[in-house]
Structure 1
Amino acid sequence: MAGGQVSMGREISNPPTDGISNLRFSNTSDHLLVSSWDKTVREFMHSAAVLDCCFHDDSSGFSASADNTVRRLVFGYGREDVLGTHDAPVRCIEYSYATGQVVTGSWDKNLKCWDPRGASGQERTLVGTYNQLERVYSLSVNGHRLVAATAGRHVNVYDLRNMSQPEQRRESSLKYQTRCVRCYPNQTGYALSSVEGRVAMEFFDTSEAGQSKKYAFKCHRKSEAGRDIVYPVNAIAFHPIYGTFATGGCDGFVNVWDGNNKKRLYQYPKYPSSIAALSFSRDGKLLAIASSYTYEEGEKLHEPDSIFVRSVNEVEVKPKPKMVANPAA
């Protein structure tokens, strides 16, 4: 039992006391930012659940809250200011290093872009509001590209330099509700997960050749008594060096995949509860894992929320050489 605990990674002390909504490594250090339904991000207390967070730099970050606010947080000083608000809970937040903007997605069916460099106050920081067909569930930013996934299986792809219209309007190739979207590190496409235990690999190139590369695969499911038990896939995190990616599901497992070769590379030992969020460090040597019940089965007794940080071995994330002739592949 002790060996199994060690293999999960180092458990962080004093984790949030309610469901973990997200965690993120900094782009410049191994600092970790965590948002939670217990209304906290780091030393900051909000008036409602914090549904997402992201870094600006090592001294500041941003939060998205169920109190409808978007906040800038200055670490170490406990200082914060409200960039602005949505008309409903703010589900997700991203910082674009390419444009210097904060992007938020809300259940009010809007995306908003903010300039955090201005003075506090909505009028001075709001860059634009962009209507969506449905509630925003997940966002991902890479370079100048923004991918927004909403209820109703809608996916909009934007160029952050011209947000007037989406570059592409798509429908998820997965049949059920989207849980997470993440752009590929090489900026050629995105991965999308859903509640049905599947992940779709999509490509921005709309040519026939480009679209012929897309596919979806089953994961985070098991057979029991002759039937499939399917678990929502809550989290996707790409390795920054190798471009492989980890998925986390309500089955408590983290799997690592080689998307190009369509292979699972590794499965970590089962965690105490659902995997709510994942994040690789900037050099890919650490993986932060939020083990936190996501209420997929309603109110019930569950394991305490916990955060593990594990060292990543190259064998777990580096793609294996492709076999030339393998009939079973």
Structure 2
Amino acid sequence: MATTTTTTVVSSGRELTNPPSDGISNIRFSNHSDHLLVSSWDKTVRLYDATADFLRGEFLHGGPVLDCCFHDDSSGFSASADNTVRRLIFATGKEDILGKHDAPVRCVEYSYAAGQLITGSWDKTIKCWDPRGASGQERTLVGTYAQPERVYSLSLVGHRLVVATAGRHVNVYDMRNMSCPEQRRESSLKYQTRCVRCYPNGTGYALSSVEGRVAMEFFDLSEASQAKKYAFKCHRKSEAGRDIVYPVNAMAFHPIYGTFATGGCDGFVNVWDGNNKKRLYQYSKYPSSVAALSFSRDGRLLAVASSYTFEEGPKPHDQDAIYVRSVNEIEVKPKPKALPNPTA
């Protein structure tokens, strides 16, 4: 992917007060407001008003919280290393236990199309829940679906669910028929998957790895569509004649323009135009690894979790922090392709 149009943006954004005290596992903007949900290894889920820099609520869990997502502005869900799936009620500060996995729950996504919660676990299963049912596992569990390996990342677009696991497996489901995957794939990247995110237009997904690469994939299996897929290098630098490669921890698509941001263990956030295969912007370096990213519902804000992800083992590192930056249209809007000069 070409990087000749890259511009570096100096501002890191506004740092939120009262950040988590241990590694930030994920950050999510609401689909209805500028509320921000944050899960952390300090066993908490925090709810912020991102524009007012106000901590609206905090939920303490029995173990590290590995993921979180919104249901609506009154409730959300969490996935915890204590194997538990919880619904969090923001107004009362209370929680319901929807059920459990047999190992830590790594990721959680709410499907507005299906009205179901999907959780992925290191027990090599995904589970679908109906959060509208009464509390208690038997009354809310819709189904359990075996996966080839531990689940690392989930992503949804419409009725499509993409499940990325250890061993570089990728399963694509139609949530209207979960009996078996619509497609069973293998990552086109050679190394462990870190993150999967579906394109907002529903045509495919991006996959990132620990080896500083992102693959752009398409659901349509026709030869013409598969010919469009590609992978590119990112989050790496040359030093003393050798390449230093950083894991790509996070990706987030802009809801309006379909461009996307990547965050790596190098502390940088890059914005990419996938259609034109160009890097649009690079933000100034953050104090630590970029662990998670989220655009607000209208794309005006980008939340960045600067949080050491222990890729080099225990060592002194900067305090975990969450930055919220205002997004300028020029940073995320694809540049029009230059027309050929007819007189050339």
Task: Report TM bin, short chain.
Answer: over 0.9
- Aligned-partner SS, 1:8: coil
Structure 1 counterpart of 2:86, from 71, 89, 99: 71
The amino acid of 1:78's aligned partner reads: G
Partner of 1:211: 226
Distance in 1 (alpha carbons) for counterparts of 2:174 and 2:63: 32
Partner of 1:272: 287
Alpha-carbon offset, residue 76 of structure 1? 2.5
- Aligned-partner SS, 2:63: coil
Where does structure 2 lack aligned partners over 5 or more consecutive residues?
A: 1-7, 47-57
Distance in 1 (alpha carbons) for counterparts of 2:208 and 2:10: 29
Partner of 1:175: 190
Distance in 2 (alpha carbons) for counterparts of 1:275 and 1:155: 24
Structure 2 counterpart of 1:35, from 36, 39, 64: 39
Partner of 1:154: 169
Which of the pair has the greater relative contact order for Cα pairs under 8 Å at 6+ separation? 2
Structure 1 counterpart of 2:179, from 144, 164, 167: 164
Structure 1 counterpart of 2:333, from 315, 318, 321: 318
- Aligned-partner SS, 1:7: coil
Structure 1 counterpart of 2:126, from 91, 111, 120: 111
- Aligned-partner SS, 1:185: coil
> 2:259 matched to 1:259?
no
Distance in 1 (alpha carbons) for counterparts of 2:64 and 2:94: 19
Alpha-carbon offset, residue 78 of structure 1? 1.1
Partner of 1:8: 12
The amino acid of 2:163's aligned partner reads: A
Identity fraction in percent: 84
Distance in 2 (alpha carbons) for counterparts of 1:127 and 1:165: 15
Alpha-carbon offset, residue 6 of structure 1? 7.3
Query: C-alpha offsets along residues 76-133 of structure 1, whole Å, 9 cap, x if unaligned?
Result: 3111011000000000000000011000000000000000000111000000000000
Structure 2 counterpart of 1:102, from 100, 117, 120: 117
Distance in 1 (alpha carbons) for counterparts of 2:106 and 2:10: 33
Give the 3 Å change call, closer, same or farther, for CA 57–103 of structure 1 in structure 2: same
> 2:20 matched to 1:20?
no
> 2:320 matched to 1:298?
no
Give the 3 Å change call, closer, same or farther, for CA 6–78 of structure 1 in structure 2: farther
- Aligned-partner SS, 1:209: helix
Partner of 2:204: 189
Give the 3 Å change call, closer, same or farther, for CA 192–115 of structure 1 in structure 2: same
The amino acid of 1:9's aligned partner reads: G
Distance in 2 (alpha carbons) for counterparts of 1:37 and 1:324: 50
> 2:248 matched to 1:244?
no
Partner of 2:54: none
Partner of 2:243: 228
Partner of 2:53: none
The amino acid of 1:110's aligned partner reads: T
The alignment's TM-score, normalised by the length of structure 1, stands at 0.97
- Aligned-partner SS, 2:11: helix
- Aligned-partner SS, 1:139: strand
Distance in 2 (alpha carbons) for counterparts of 1:152 and 1:307: 31
Alpha-carbon offset, residue 5 of structure 1? 11
The amino acid of 2:34's aligned partner reads: D
Alpha-carbon offset, residue 242 of structure 1? 0.1
Alpha-carbon offset, residue 142 of structure 1? 1.0
Give the 3 Å change call, closer, same or farther, for CA 325–216 of structure 1 in structure 2: farther
Partner of 1:201: 216
> 2:156 matched to 1:141?
yes
CA RMSD of aligned residues (A): 1.2
Distance in 1 (alpha carbons) for counterparts of 2:162 and 2:94: 31
- Aligned-partner SS, 1:123: helix
Alpha-carbon offset, residue 324 of structure 1? 3.3
The amino acid of 2:26's aligned partner reads: N
Query: C-alpha offsets along residues 227-286 of structure 1, whole Å, 9 cap, x if unaligned?
Result: 000000000000000000000000000000000000000000000000000000000000
Distance in 2 (alpha carbons) for counterparts of 1:209 and 1:323: 24
Give the 3 Å change call, closer, same or farther, for CA 218–283 of structure 1 in structure 2: same
Distance in 2 (alpha carbons) for counterparts of 1:293 and 1:323: 40
Partner of 1:51: 66
Distance in 2 (alpha carbons) for counterparts of 1:221 and 1:260: 22
